[in-house]
A and B are shown apart, each in its own frame.
Chain A
Amino acid sequence: MRYTLLLHYSEESPESLGEEALAEGMRRMAAFAATLHDAGVLLSAEVLQPSETTTTLRRDADRLQVQDGPFVDAKVQLGGTIVIDVPDLDAALEWASQAPALDWGGVVEVRPGAVHTVDGSWVPNR
């Protein structure tokens, strides 16, 4: 069963964070990924650039609207995703509880997948 961990946290810049905290954060994210990988549960992981770099599209009355900035303007933003494959929700929650974001005042959503692609075709999560 595939679950996506949606990591939400308030965005910091290298300046606001300080060099030391930034390095510590990166070290902990590296360790978290390595732990998931070594356990054989990690499918993919991605940390996103700050939401100020995002571009949002929508179509209004057949006109494509392009807007700078995130869809929802909030202090806490989606900052990364991790996809894991584990037997059940308890296992997913156990891994999610080790996410460093939780120690940074962040929030982790654990969401089961419905379908995902294999070689360009959708297959159900099971």
Chain B
Amino acid sequence: MDAAGSGSGGGSSPPAGSGGRDGGGSPAGLPTGAPAGPPIVSPDRAIAYSAAAHAARDSYGRLVAVLAANTGDLALAEDALADAFTTALERWPASGIPDNPEGWLITVARNRQRDVWKSAAARASAPLDLATTDFAEPFDAFDAVDPLRIPDRRLELCFTCAHPAIDEAARTPLMLQAVLGFDAAHIAAAYAVPTATMAQRLTRAKRRIARARIPFVVPDRRDLPERLPAVLEAVYGCAAITWRDDADSLAGEARHLAVTLAGLLEREPEAWALAALVTLSLAPPRSGPYVPLEEQSPASWDAPLIDEGEAYLRRAAALRGGAAPGRFELEAAIQAVHLDRRRTGTVDWAALRTLYSALLAVAPSLGARVAAAAVIGRTDGPAAGLAALPAGGEGFQPWWATRADLLRRAGDEVDSDAAYAHAIELARDPDVRAFLAERRSELR
């Protein structure tokens, strides 16, 4: 969202409150359960691999959700699915790819779960070792499975990952792993923490789900308003940490999650608005030198993605009826106004100003306030923009980039130069740094 507003500044930034702007750069990760690379050149093997990888990418979250929902044990579900993928790679080259690969995988994974559960039950009936008690017993674990009719329980899984009893810092990583299949190393890189730290955080969260028996359910209508924001926030986090990736990679997966969530919830305006925001944010190009949104050529934007995002946004507005727009709808609308330049040829700064004041009323994050100041600088002049810059933003790169730009527009080249120096120092993205350095060099 400040990506949308701070076109004048240095912000190709992820949404405020995200895990980190330098999350990009990691290669598209295969789901945890899938093998790391095509191991053998044999064509059969390659086809089997590609079928397994396709099933992995496409339905990883769906399979994990089903396996975990029935046992309450997310870690076991992931392990069992990983085993099933391994078995598939061993068997499919010889036996051929089954007609229903997902059904095959889930049956094998369930057998694995059953084995583990049986041995846990055997341990539990032996004299009790109090130090190692861990009785996450599956309830209705092995109900009859019809592999052709795998229910979609990803929505339940999302609510479990973002349950209030889960550490807030673990919710988005958990969703990235359980629903989208990213491995701990990728997630750790995106959050700039050591892999071991992230792996431990994820393990702890999964153990908590099993031991405290956090249910795999969508809250009823009464509790939904209270619980939904955390889910949307976590999905937003999934999009945010992939902000600099292109639509074909991790960012595409995050978009897929947002759109899936909206579709599963059907009538939640803010879920559709989030789908719109994530979709619209993917429309501008993400590789190559950094160019502020307002200076990009609309020809470089992905028109079908914009059309799709706009459709989601209209849907959000229609579902909301007469109620006030929520935070995600406002952020999506801000992005849509910028992208509307493809039709009108100009940026409607007045509309942006209105949207930002509404956004600041519902979600006054530092990023939004800085972006709003940049917009005020356009509608009311650089002095008004400078006055609108929030106090206490001195550790925030977009604050300095916006200040530098506003000072430049005000003709104060000396102070602008100093502000650019701060912004460059704080910028972690090399492309953004290069852009700021160029702007700075134009001052003299």
Chain A contact residues, CB within 8 Å of chain B: 1, 87-90, 93, 112, 114-115, 122, 124-126
Contact = CB atoms under 8 A, between A and B. Distances in A.
Contacts of B219: 90
A89 B212 contact: yes
B215 A126 contact: no
Interface string B201-224: 000000000011111010100000
Nearest to B127: A122
A83 B213 CA distance: 16
Contact of B165 (A87, A89, A122): A89
Contacts of B211: 112
Nearest to B128: A122
A126 B215 CA distance: 14
A125 B124 CA distance: 11
Given A93-B165, A126-B137, A112 B124 contact: no
Contacts of A89: 163, 165, 212-215
B340 to A, nearest CB: 43
A89 B213 CA distance: 6
A125 B215 CA distance: 16
A87 B214 CA distance: 10
B432 to A, nearest CB: 43
Contact of A90 (B128, B137, B217): B217
A88 B130 contact: no
A87 B139 CA distance: 10
B135 interface: yes
Interface of B: 124, 128, 130, 133, 135, 137, 139, 163, 165, 211-215, 217, 219
Nearest to A90: B215
Best-buried of B124, B211, B212 by chain A (most CB within 10 Å): B212
A124 B124 contact: yes
A115 B214 contact: no
Given A93-B165, A124-B135, A126-B135, A115 B215 contact: no
Contacts, number: 38
A9 B130 CA distance: 30
A2 to B, nearest CB: 10
Nearest to A121: B128
27 contacts: A87-B213, A87-B215, A88-B213, A88-B215, A89-B163, A89-B165, A89-B212, A89-B213, A89-B214, A89-B215, A90-B217, A90-B219, A112-B212, A112-B213, A114-B130, A114-B133, A114-B135, A115-B128, A115-B135, A122-B130, A124-B128, A124-B133, A124-B135, A124-B137, A125-B135, A126-B135, A126-B137
B133 to A, nearest CB: 5
Contacts of B212: 89, 112
Nearest to B165: A89
Contacts of B165: 89, 93
Given A112-B212, A115-B133, 10 more contacts: A1-B213, A89-B163, A89-B165, A89-B214, A90-B215, A90-B217, A90-B219, A115-B128, A124-B137, A125-B135
Contacts of B213: 1, 87-89, 112
A85 to B, nearest CB: 12
B135 A88 contact: no
A95 to B, nearest CB: 14
A90 B227 CA distance: 12
A86 B83 CA distance: 33
A122 B127 CA distance: 9
Contacts of A126: 135, 137
A93 B164 CA distance: 10
Contacts of A112: 211-213
A113 to B, nearest CB: 9
A115 B213 CA distance: 15
A114 B137 CA distance: 11
A83 to B, nearest CB: 15
A6 to B, nearest CB: 14
A62 B121 CA distance: 38
Contacts of A88: 213-215
Nearest to B120: A124
Contacts of A125: 135
A91 B432 CA distance: 49
A125 B211 CA distance: 10
A110 to B, nearest CB: 8
B130 A115 contact: yes
Contacts of A93: 165
